[in-house]
Amino acid sequence: MKIQYLLTLLIAVSPLYLLMAQIEDKKKIIEKGAELIKVQDGFSFTEGPAVSRVGDVYFTDQPNNRIHKWNAISDEITVFKEDAGRSNGMFFMLDGTLISCADEENQLWAIDDAGKEEVLVSAFKGKKLNGPNDVWVRPKGGMYFTDPLYPRPYWEGIRGDEKEQDGEHVYFLSADRTELFRVAEDLEKPNGIIGTPDGKYLYVADIGAGKTYKYEIREDGYLINKELFCEMGSDGMTIDHRGNVYLTGDGVTVFDMRGQKIAHIPVPASWTANVTFGALDRKTLFITAMDAVYTIRMKNRGVW
C-alpha cells in the first residue's frame, strides 16, 4: 500500500504530469498525444521566431547578439548571424529577406540569406525611434512594426524613460520603402503584432494596457475600425489558418476569431516571449521562452 501511494504521489508531482495536466484545449487544436519538447537551452533570452519558406525557424538570442536557425528536418540549431544588431522581433518576406527589429541602434533591418544587413529605417521625422520590437509583413507588401520603449543597458545617451519620439506607436513602411508613417498613436505600449494571411486585418497587443486590438487594413496601409479583441496583452504573437490568435507571456494562450479563449499551453519558464509555426507543414508550434526554445505539434497549421 505504501509503495502504491508513493508511486501515485510521484506521478502526481512530476513536472511532465503537472505540465500536461494544465494544458487547456477546448477546440482540440493540439495534436493528440503531443507533448511540449525542449529543443535546446543555454541561451540568455530567446525572441523573434520567424519561419522561412521551407519551414526552418530563425530566432534571436538578444543579450548575446545572435540570430540562430532551427532546422525543421534535423532539429538542429546553428548560428545564422553574429553581430545581429540586438535583433528582437523578425519576419520573413516572400522573397526570403528576413526583416529584423534591430534595436541596438533603434533600427529596422533587412537581412539577406548570407546574413548581410541593410538598414530600412533609422529614424522618424529626424528623430530616433524608441526601439522597434516586433514586425509583420503584409502579403501585398509593406510592413507594420511596433515601437515601444524598453531602455537597454547597451544604449548610449538614453537613461530611464527618456525618448526622442512623443510616445510609443505603431508604424507602417510602404512596399517601395519611400513612405513611413504612424498608424496607431493611442496605445500605451504596443508590442506583439500579426496580420491575417489575406492582409485584411491586423492584431496589435498593447502589453502596457493588457489588451489586444484588431484593426481593418486599408489599401494605403492606414488602419481603421479599431476594436478590442481580448483583455490580454502579449509579447509576441502568431495566427493559424483558422484565424486563431496565439498570445504569449504566461505560456501560450490561444483565442478564436471572436476573441474567446480556447486553449492554454503552459511553458516551464518565467516568461514566454514569442511564438510561430514552423516545419514544412506549418504544424509545429515553435516557442521562445527565456533561455530555451520549445516545440509542440498542432492540428491546425500556421500561415506564411
Task: Please state, as a whole number, how many other Cβ atoms lie within 10 Å of the Cβ of residue 280.
Answer: 13
Which range among 11-25, 150-164, 203-217, 250-264 shows the weakest confidence by mean pLDDT? 11-25
pLDDT in tens, 152-188: 888 876 555 567 899 999 999 999 999 999 999 999 9
- Mean confidence (pLDDT) of the chain: 92
User: Higher model confidence: residue 14 or residue 295?
Assistant: 295
Helices 2-13 and 15-22 pack at an angle, to 10 degrees, of: 60
Give me 117's grid cell: 544587413
Q: Please, which residues have CB within 8 angstroms of residue 196's CB and are 6 or more apart in sequence?
A: 202, 239, 243
Quick one: 152 exposed, middle or buried, by C-beta within 10 A (0-12, 13-18, 19+)? middle
Task: State in words which class domain 2-297 has.
Answer: mainly beta
Task: Please state, as a whole number, how many other Cβ atoms lie within 10 Å of the Cβ of residue 276.
Answer: 28
Q: Which residues pair with 119 in a beta bridge?
A: 109
DSSP string, 100-137: EEETTTTEEEEE-TTS-EEEEES-BTTB--S---EEEE
CA 210-242-277 angle, to 5 degrees, is 75
Instruction: Name the pairing type of β-strands 201-206 and 190-195.
Output: antiparallel
pLDDT in tens, 224-269: 999 999 999 999 999 999 999 999 999 999 999 999 999 999 999 9
Structural domain spans, the chain: 2-297
